[in-house]
Amino acid sequence: MIAREAILGYDMSGTWGIGARLKDMSFIENLKHTVRLNLIGGTNSTTMTRYLAPHNGAYTTFSNSGPNSGIAGANPLYMTTNDTALEIGLSNDYKMYDNFTVSLDAAYIATWLDQSRGVWGTSRMNGRSDQERDPWNVNVRFVYSF
C-alpha cells in the first residue's frame, strides 16, 4: 500500500525515487508497524506545461477517474525535473484473532512543485487555481482469512 498511487501517478513513469522502510516492528504482542519514507523526483520536461490546458486549446483529454478527474493535464500529477515529493507513511497491523486482522494505514505526501510562471505557476493545475495541496491517505482494513 503506497499513498502515491493515483495521486502522483498510476505508475511511476517519468519519475525517479529512493525509499527506505522499517518493516514489521513490534513493541506489543500481535501489533506490527511498518514505517515508509520515499523521496520522488520528476524527470519530465518543464516546458511541457505549455501544452496543457489552459495554455493549449488542442489539449482536451479529460480523465474520468482518479483524484483530479475531469481536469485536463492534472490526472495524475505530471512531475517535471523541478518537482519533488516526499512520502511519509505508517502501516499498523493488529492480529486480533488467528484469522482476523485490523489494519490502519496513514500516509502524507509533501510536494514541492515549481511555481514559477514558466512551469506550474500559470497552469491552473487543479483546474481552478495554481494552489498546491499536499495529499493525505488514511484507510482502515478488516481482513478475515479462512
Distance of CA 74 to the CA centre of its chain: 13
Domain boundaries, the chain: 15-144
- How confident is the model over 62-76, as pLDDT tens digits? 444 444 455 444 445
Q: What is the pLDDT of residue 126?
A: 52
Q: What is the pLDDT of residue 6?
A: 57
- How confident is the model over 22-64, as pLDDT tens digits? 999 999 999 999 999 999 998 888 877 666 645 444 444 444 4
Whole-model pTM above 0.75? Answer: no
